[in-house]
Amino acid sequence: MMNSSKCYLVMIFFGVGCMTVSCSDSAGFSSSKGAESKAGRNANAEPQAGPGEAANVNDAQTADIQNQEMTELSFRVTTDMNSKEADVVFFVDTSGSMSQEMAMVANNMSAFVDTIQKSDIKGLNLTVVSDMDTISTVFNDGNNFYQIDRKVNSTDGLEITESLIKQGELQLREGSIKEFVYVTDDNANYLNGFKQFVAKNPKIKDKLAVSGLVWKDGVSVKSETCTKANNGSSYMDLADSLPRKGLILDLCSENWNEMFVQLANKIVEELTENIFRIDHSVDPSSLKISLDGRELSDDEFSFSEADATLEIEKDLVENNVGAELKVSFVKN
């Protein structure tokens, strides 16, 4: 795949031009070209299969794809922002049960910063909302890091967020994407109130994504260093329901460095015009891509199964601003 470019309380700002993408997910779209291609390759690779046998294998696999339900995503390539900027805020719960997690934030935040700085994204501004005193040691450039010294309790992250925005303490820029990342072992109160606040605030309404390192029922495993207060369902709800999708990670994961890299890559990808996140497990053999009504050839795009991201040739995207990109596939 080509290079991918896309708060505990922390806020990051990026100073570069951005494209927004709207996405819809519907069932019922049907195609079998990708499956035919793969089936043909598989059939030809069988040393014992004669021409007739290869054709039979191909037909059987194509028919199988045709009988499966296809998913179609529709992206609109737009440029409604004058510059690419990202304001990232980490909200870090510093209640008594979070001592181990606070240390992990301090020890791994540099992975987040380094990943972004290695990309083409410039002008990163990072804000952390927390009364922890060790986080600032990972930043060498005070010009792009802000810390708001305020205690975040286990359930009041969303209320604090709204309060800081109303008071003008979060430096949220016009046109920037906003990424609020919450690190907590508890759930948030005030979910519906926060949703209403976001919906009525044009500065963040269509630009905000909520991500989090939280307890996930069925995924997180309690240990001596990771305890549970409540499932982080409010953050999961916001991650899925806002116009920009968030990323929910496992608070009890042993690899915090990797999680911070994932968060950074998400932002880099969103600020890169030709990267589109699919957010589904995809059968690559079933992929069919069209831009402005024209089906793309294999050399005009690449797909990463590991990241579930689709990368389109930059020239194609730049020359088709406003066009619709359709992606259809069978879910694995």
Q: Does residue 1 fall inside a structural domain?
A: no
Domain boundary among 242, 270, 298: 270
The per-residue b/e assignment along 37-50, b for 16 or more CB within 10 angstroms, e otherwise, is bbbbeebeeeeeee
Which residues share a beta bridge with 71?
Answer: 27, 329
Interhelix angle for 33-45 vs 51-67, to 10°? 150
Provide the pLDDT for residue 219. Answer: 94
Instruction: Give pLDDT tens digits for 191-206.
Output: 999 999 999 998 898 8
Tokens 């059939």 map to which residue? 43
pTM, two decimal places? 0.64
Domain extent, residue 301, equals 23-68+273-329
**How many domains does the chain divide into?**
2
Which is higher by pLDDT, 93 or 117? 93
Asked whether residue 48 carries a pLDDT value surpassing 60, the answer given is no
| pLDDT tens-digit map of 118-145 | 776 666 788 999 998 766 555 555 457 8
Residue 209: name the closest of 183, 171, 248 by CA.
Answer: 248
83-97, 153-167, 294-308: which has the highest mean pLDDT? Answer: 153-167
Question: Rounded to an integer, what distance in angstroms lies between the CA atom of residue 136 and that of residue 126?
Answer: 11
Question: 101 and 44: one domain?
Answer: no
pLDDT reported for residue 61? 52
What's the CATH number where 90 sits?
3.40.50
